[in-house]
Amino acid sequence: MQPIWLKHYPPGVPAEADIFCYVSLKNMLEQCCERYHALPAFTNMGTTISFGELDRLSRDFGAWLQHGIKLRKGERVAIMLPNLLQYPVALFGALRAGLVVVNVNPLYTTRELQAQLADSGAVAVIVLENFAHTLQQALPDTAVRHVITTQVGDLFPVMKKCLVNVVAKQIRRMVPDWDIPSAISLPTALKRGGHHLLTDVPIDRDDIAFLQYTGGTTGVSKGAILTHGNLVANVEQTSAWIGHLLTEGAEVVITPLPLYHVFSLTANLLLFVKWGGNNVLITNPRDIPAFVQVLAKTRFTVITGVNTLYKKLLNDPGFSRVAQQGGSLKLAVAGGMALQRTVAERWQAVMGIPLIEGYGLTEASPTVCANRFDITEFSGTIGLPLPSTRIAILDEAGHALPPGEAGEIVVQGPQVMRGYWNRPEETARTFIADGWLRTGDIGVMDENGAIRFIERCKDVIVVSGFKVYPSEIEEVVMRHPGVREVGAVGVPDENSGESVKLCVVKQDQTLTSEALLAYCRANLAAYKVPRHVEFRDHLPKNPIGKILRRALKEETSSASLPTT
């Protein structure tokens, strides 16, 4: 029997994607560099490299990895870079050399970095000098033998390179002192690699491309094993879904989310390499005024982001200049976290096109489903399963639920990971029969096959036996004009087992907890109404701006609760 969602696909979208279009990411890159040789591939801080230059630079880096430091197929290379031109060069150089990429958040603490390097068994690291001091402290008790360092301007033209690097190091003091005697600079590695031939390493779809670290379904950091086949499949699935909107060699995509995060990695970098698009890399999206200036100067056709980023853009007074450009933007995508109705509606009112929300997870490379591209307004769902993807909703006993009933979302498809690196027990707990992946997320499927995300299983709050979903509470609270940000978590309660606590960043400094709770009582059932409110200057977030409820709960457990 055909899945119910297929008859609700947009016209022209196939039930199955051509997941065997490329043998590997290496194969995809090399074909695309040949096809789009003279076209711009990546732009950063006003400097652009073409697909031809990307081909040459990644070839040189891959050749140095193979012949300069003698790395062999399957060894792990960590990339610890923000969004700079160096990232795609290092990424594709490693993949072309037959190596496995371990993406690393440059803002990791020494403890976090050491744990990931040790767990992955990475033997080489490429790091921005700004973060080399952290790497220096983390290196003991890891397998790392080779360190490649780079400065912000290393791939800029000579005069600009010198200016940018001097400003970063000498004027802004952005590079703390570090000392790794064996380190080699990226320009030196590229120069030396240019004297070697890149050995053609056979790579097929079953070879590992990434160890992509994630909190997973249990909150324990672990490496999802993503193969070349997984990533190629997700690129092709996404292309099948939105491809009719795209023109080969003509797209300009704004890339503000870090490329070391799987959403940006696939939805921006890999997808638009396939389409011959130009990725405009935003190194510091937290500097919203500077980000808006880039947008105002760029005739972009696609943008991806998360709810918090879109909200910050809309709140910036300079964003009106971006909206006035008009005409060129054809696709705006939201992922990585739940999209709030207020943000979606404001975006559409200002920019004239809807935000297309999707859903995915690291373990699925990441995209699993997305809204139709022809929607005219916020749908409130995370869309339909992508081509070649199957989704089911299961109860706690593992039985499939009918449309309209809430349960755990499970996924099956060619984008689903092989398992967790060196964690067979975790892998066994995450998969059920026939390769179905447990997501740890609660959702509902409607009669058309569209999925509505409700909550992470582990975040559900149980108040006197009733389930309360933090995302619903947050959605309501965010409608209050005095609230800028909010996180809702469950805290112990001697009467009800748990109760709801709000952690709030004010938009209106005169807002009181009494006024906010009164608003909640007017808009929520009694058992859902928060009992505690804490006002804060900021909330803990992950690298893409998603509020970390786990961190809020941990902080709450170590402090006394404010009373209301």
Do the bridges between strand 76-80 and strand 124-128 make them parallel or antiparallel, or are there none, so unpaired?
Answer: parallel
Distances (CA, A) of 43 to 58, 67, 172, 296, 355: 16, 29, 23, 15, 24
In a domain? residue 487? yes
Query: In 3D, which of 121, 131, 145, 122 has the Cα closest to residue 86?
Result: 131
Residue 209 lies in a domain: no
What CATH number corresponds to the domain at position 111?
A: 3.40.50.980
Give φ, ψ of 186 to 5 degrees: -60, -45
Give me the CATH number covering residue 405: 2.30.38.10
Together in a domain, 406 and 492: no
108 shares its domain with 134: yes
Residue type, 110: T
CATH number at residue 475: 3.30.300.30
Query: Domain check: are 447 and 553 in the same one?
Result: no
496 plus 415 within the same structural domain? no
In a domain, 170, yes or no: yes
Is 56 a member of any domain?
yes
pLDDT tens, the chain, 564 aa long: 789 999 999 999 999 999 999 999 999 999 999 999 999 999 999 999 999 999 999 999 999 999 999 999 999 999 999 999 999 999 999 999 999 999 999 988 898 899 999 999 999 999 999 999 999 999 999 999 999 999 999 999 999 999 999 999 999 999 999 999 999 999 999 999 999 999 999 999 999 999 999 854 344 579 999 999 999 999 999 999 999 999 999 999 999 999 999 999 999 999 999 999 999 999 999 999 999 999 999 999 999 999 889 999 999 999 999 988 767 999 999 998 888 898 999 999 999 999 999 999 999 999 999 999 999 999 999 999 999 999 999 999 999 999 999 999 999 999 999 999 999 999 999 999 999 999 999 999 999 999 999 988 888 898 887 888 898 899 999 999 999 999 999 999 888 889 999 999 999 999 999 999 999 999 998 889 999 999 999 999 888 888 888 888 888 765 555 545
Task: Kindly state the DSSP code that residue 207 receives in the 8-state scheme.
Answer: S
Closest CA to 503 of 522, 490, 493: 490
CB-side neighbour CA atoms (13 Å) of 505: 10
In a domain, 551, yes or no: yes
* Contacts with 398 (C-beta within 8 Å, 6 or more apart), sequence order: 432
Give the model's pLDDT for residue 466.
81
Domain assignment present for 563 = no
Q: Are 94 and 58 in contact (CB under 8 A)?
A: no
Clarify whether residues 109 and 170 are in a common domain: yes
Residues 476 and 427 grouped into a single domain? no
Last residue of a domain, one of 407, 438, 456: 456
Q: How far apart are CA 166 and CA 34, in angstroms?
A: 35
Question: How many domains does one find in the chain?
Answer: 3
Domain shared by 32 and 119, yes or no: yes
Q: Which amino acid is at 529?
A: V
294 contacts: CB under 8 Å, gap ≥ 6: 254, 280, 282
Domain boundary among the residues 410, 425, 456 is at: 456
CB proximity list for 129: less than 8 A, separation 6 or greater: 149, 150, 151, 169, 175, 178
The region that residue 422 occupies, defined by phi over 0 for left and psi between -120 and 50 for alpha, beta otherwise, is left
d(CA 530, CA 53): 56
| Residue finishing a domain among 431, 456, 481 | 456
The answer on 44 and 176 residing in a single domain is yes
Q: 194 and 81 in one domain?
A: yes
Contacts of 200 (CB under 8 A, 6+ apart): none
Instruction: Specify if 100 maps to a domain.
Output: yes
Judgement on whether residues 465 and 446 belong to the same structural domain of the protein: no
**Quick one: pLDDT at residue 215?**
56
- Paired sense of beta strands 76-80 and 100-103, if any: parallel
With beta carbons less than 8 A apart as the criterion, state whether 330 and 299 touch: no
Question: Is the domain of 60 the same as that of 162?
Answer: yes
Specify whether 50 is located in the same domain as 186: yes
CA distance 343 to 478: 10
Domain span including residue 438: 388-456
In a domain, 78, yes or no: yes
